[in-house]
Amino acid sequence: MVIPNGTVARLAKNKDMRVVALVPRGSNFRNLIEKYGLGPNVIVEEVDTKMQNFSLLQKLFYFFYSYLIFTGTTRLLATFGARADAPPAGGNRYAAPLKGLISKIFGRSRWIKTIFVPWGYKKLFSRKELADLFEKYHPDLVFLSGIAAFEDVELLAEAQRRKVKTIGMPANWDHLNKYYVPLHSDFLLIQNQPMKKEAMEYHSYREEQIVMVGFPQFDFYVTGKEYIKPRAEVLKKYGLNPDSKLILFISGSVYALDEQDILKAIYDRAWRGEFGYPTSVIVRPYPNRADIAKYKHLEGLSGIAFFWKNTSINFENIVEFTNIMRHADVVISVFSTTAIEAAIFDRPTITIGFDGYSKRPMHQSLARMEKLSHFKHVLDTGSVKVARSFDELFSQMKQYLDFPETDMQNRKDLIEKMCYQLNGESTKRIADFINLQLAHE
């Protein structure tokens, strides 16, 4: 949204439009907008995005509408939980049967989803800070770039109270199959065909409300050719052998407790030359201190480098990571969006589906992640291999290093299935649709 020529920058070109961008208080999004999207007609307002303390009635209503859908992802969250470092389902595992029952009894009713829940939400939830912004700016249209987030739902509720036209978009491809979003925007921009089906089946959107636009965050992978750096330059920057094969290891952080053991085993085998080639490893830790600390004992070893000098969201890091992925010979990750990103560059990808040397209970085991509904769209294409043991991991790595064309057609199928039109114009489609709706006001 806020990279060069992103959605905000495109909207700013319309001199007849005033753009008020709401950003989380204390985040670096203000700096990004000011650097890449700010014009004389763009105003940045910081807002509090922390969830307010709920009353008992609000908690009960939130619980009720959240589980009007109960997918594989919802079931995973309700039983085992997402984070491996927390109690199963945050300590509320006992409530899983009730959550499933809510979906079975009430989730089948379009009236409950589209009439009762929106009415109840607008009666129970409001935020004066957002109401004051509407009084200050009197918008003609509200665009919600993360419609599944609670703060966006609050903004949507205020817009509907004032009968302001709304356009929503989920921020990521897994947001429509986790929980029910209690309010509908007038139009929903989505990234691909599977998400369109989820919007209609789970959230009761009508087909005429849905517009496919693709992933705006993938536009740069197509349009940023001027930022491509030669492979040798990328590897040399990290002190790696420019003639070596490159393994990109993308950490899953708190979702995977034993990655450091798996990474060390990969490094040892690469260092001993057992893959048949000189092999180097670049690690992208999750952007938090705990993840960085998890790998500190490997820092300084020859043949391994870490992309962690600055883990904040900025354009320079996007460029850096794009160049690393573009030149990787194998990408290793944990059931993440990087499977799609790697396919865009035709990079073979392995997903780790085991717990290293440990025997973890299911709520901590990586095996639980295969239950994620959204990742099934990836696995069904055969574009990604799942390693369920060290032997499988090393065998798959060797196969991809020897024959990088393996699964190439499957990766193409994944892009066609999940990326809609990968032509670098998703941000343009978003901005054009917003401009079109404003023209109809």
For the chain, the domains span 7-52+103-217+423-439, 221-418
Burial readout 261-298 (b: 16 or more C-beta within 10 A, e: otherwise):
ebbbebbebbbeeebeeebbbbbbbbeeeebbebbeeb
* CA atoms of 373 and 356, how far apart (whole Å): 24
Q: Is the pLDDT of residue 287 over 90?
A: no
- Could you tell me which CATH class the domain 7-52+103-217+423-439 is placed in? alpha beta
* Fold matches, 7-52+103-217+423-439 and 221-418: yes
Q: Is the pLDDT of residue 137 over 80?
A: yes
Condensed to tens digits (0 to 9), the pLDDT of residues 212-271 reads 999 999 999 999 889 999 999 999 999 999 999 999 999 887 788 888 899 999 999 999
Q: Is the pLDDT of residue 2 over 60?
A: no
What percentage of the chain carries pLDDT values higher than 90?
Answer: 65
CATH architecture of 221-418: 3-Layer(aba) Sandwich (3.40)
> Crossing angle of helices 72-79/96-106, nearest 10°?
150
Residue 441 has a pLDDT of: 67
Q: Is the pLDDT of residue 410 over 70?
A: yes
Lowest mean per-residue pLDDT among 38-52, 222-236, 388-402: 38-52
Q: Is the pLDDT of residue 1 over 60?
A: no
What is the four-CA torsion angle of 67, 81, 173, 34, rounded to 10 degrees?
110
How is residue 78 written in tokens? 């309700």
The CA distances from residue 4 to 14, 229, 319, in Å, are: 16, 18, 12
Q: What is the mean pLDDT of residues 52-81?
A: 91
Residue 79 has a pLDDT of: 87
* CA atoms of 211 and 350, how far apart (whole Å): 32
222 compared with 10, residue with greater pLDDT = 222
206 compared with 289, residue with greater pLDDT = 206
Condensed to tens digits (0 to 9), the pLDDT of residues 294-334 reads 787 888 899 999 886 555 667 788 889 999 999 999 999 99
DSSP annotation of 95 reads: G
Q: Is the pLDDT of residue 349 over 60?
A: yes
81 compared with 312, residue with greater pLDDT = 81
